[in-house]
């Protein structure tokens, strides 16, 4: 095969690998969402204890992460002082625990399809919190796009057949906490040059979440679980559920590390449509035309937001590439000036 053939072969291989990572992430994310819904829903497995379920996930992830970091040495721990841990990791762990608690609780009250529609507000929350915390610059066109997404979600909520106010409050709270967590990661960790892969992230954050969740668990769910002492803990169900949750964290790392965060956002939109279709066709949730109209409007807003981010990223890369020849020309000019200065110095000395 010629040089061109080898190049095209490499490009095809890269595309196949990228789509494989996307497919794995969509499958695992899809599985965890449906699995959690199955466990928590009163009409299915009927175990409506979202804090306990989240704590099981965190305990499992903490244990596996500890083994991989400390025992098998698969990855090295990040050099982190006690002060940095308390100031950075602990707040992020608190936000993560609240996000998981609220999002899992919402599955008790809302359909899978409607929850995915509400999740379309994530870019709105991330951008708004970023502007408030001075991490993003306010732009009128971006804010107009955020308003269009919000209007679309509002239309979808208006058309929801089984609207539950408490469930919506829980899901919106989960979106707000998750968006704040993402912004705080940039402020507290990324700005300090600290990057955590999923294993080290779980190693540091999961135990934090477990501690934070134990406080509401003692007062909210422990008394109820004690009353239902006849409940048989299904190790197969909760074990496979926790394993899927851990695998999802690894899939996120592979997808973002091998492609980009933008690819994950686009894949997330595809996943949401698949979940809506699954919720309607298999779980038999009611999806109204107004639901689809509203989510369609929000989807267009999210798609435009992702497109704008992609264009900004391309412009930044082009600017960086354009700056490299200028830097090289500047260095050459400096070298020429330095050489000319040395020549004049030698002439004066002779």
CA distances from residue 201 to 23, 69, 182, 185, 271 in whole angstroms, order as listed: 23, 11, 13, 11, 24
Three-state DSSP class for residue 329: helix
- At residue 255 the predicted structure's pLDDT band, cuts being 50, 70 and 90, is confident
- Do residues 158 and 290 lie in contact, with contact meaning Cβ atoms separated by under 8 Å? yes
| Model pLDDT, residue 333 | 55
The C-alpha atoms of residue 37 and residue 113 are separated, in whole angstroms, by 11
The stretch 241-252 carries a mean pLDDT of 92
Q: 172-186 pLDDT, tens per residue?
A: 999 999 999 999 998
Average pLDDT, the chain: 87
Tokens of 199: 């294993």
- At residue 345 the predicted structure's pLDDT band, cuts being 50, 70 and 90, is very low
- Do residues 123 and 297 lie in contact, with contact meaning Cβ atoms separated by under 8 Å? no
- pLDDT of 259 over the 80 cut: no
Percentage of residues in the chain having pLDDT higher than 90: 61
| Model pLDDT, residue 332 | 54
Percentage of residues in the chain having pLDDT higher than 70: 89
The stretch 39-54 carries a mean pLDDT of 92
Cα torsion for 344, 346, 349, 350, to the nearest 10°? -110
Contacts of 336 (CB under 8 A, 6+ apart): none
Residue ranges in the chain assigned as alpha helix (H):
3-40, 50-66, 82-84, 90-109, 112-118, 122-132, 140-158, 165-188, 198-220, 222-227, 235-258, 261-281, 289-349
Higher pLDDT, 63 or 9: 63
Q: Residue 106: which of 204, 178, 210, 155 has the closest Cα?
A: 178
| Model pLDDT, residue 176 | 97
The C-alpha atoms of residue 1 and residue 8 are separated, in whole angstroms, by 10
The C-alpha atoms of residue 263 and residue 149 are separated, in whole angstroms, by 20
């Amino acid at each position: 095969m010629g040089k061109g053939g080898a190049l095209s072969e490499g490009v095809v291989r890269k595309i196949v690998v990228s789509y494989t990572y996307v497919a794995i992430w969509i499958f695992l994310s899809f599985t965890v969402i449906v699995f959690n819904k199955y466990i928590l829903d009163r009409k299915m497995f009927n175990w409506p204890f979202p804090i306990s379920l989240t704590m099981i996930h965190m305990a499992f992830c903490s244990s596996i992460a500890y083994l991989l970091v400390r025992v098998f040495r698969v990855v090295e721990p990040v050099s982190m002082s006690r002060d940095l841990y308390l100031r950075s990791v602990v707040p992020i762990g608190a936000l993560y625990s609240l996000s998981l608690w609220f999002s899992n609780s919402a599955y008790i009250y809302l359909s899978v399809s409607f929850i995915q529609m509400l999740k379309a507000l994530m870019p709105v929350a991330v951008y708004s919190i970023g502007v408030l915390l001075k991490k993003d610059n306010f732009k009128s066109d971006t804010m107009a796009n955020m308003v269009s997404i919000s209007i679309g979600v509002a239309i979808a909520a208006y058309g929801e057949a089984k609207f539950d106010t408490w469930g919506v409050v829980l899901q919106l709270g989960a979106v707000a906490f998750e968006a704040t967590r993402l912004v705080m990661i940039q402020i507290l960790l990324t700005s300090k040059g600290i990057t955590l892969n999923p294993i080290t992230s779980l190693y540091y954050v999961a135990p934090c979440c477990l501690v934070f969740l134990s406080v509401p668990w003692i007062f909210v769910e422990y008394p109820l679980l004690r009353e239902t002492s006849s409940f048989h803990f299904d190790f197969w169900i909760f074990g496979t559920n926790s394993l899927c949750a851990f695998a999802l964290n690894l899939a996120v790392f592979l997808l973002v590390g091998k492609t980009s965060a933008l690819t994950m956002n686009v894949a997330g939109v595809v996943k949401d449509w698949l979940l809506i279709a699954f919720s309607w066709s298999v779980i038999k949730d009611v999806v109204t035309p107004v639901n689809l109209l509203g989510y369609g409007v929000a989807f267009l807003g999210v798609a435009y937001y992702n497109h704008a981010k992609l264009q900004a990223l391309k412009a930044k890369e082009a600017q960086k590439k354009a700056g490299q020849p200028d830097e090289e020309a500047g260095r050459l000019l400096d070298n020429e000036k330095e050489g000319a200065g040395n020549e004049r110095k030698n002439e004066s000395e002779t």
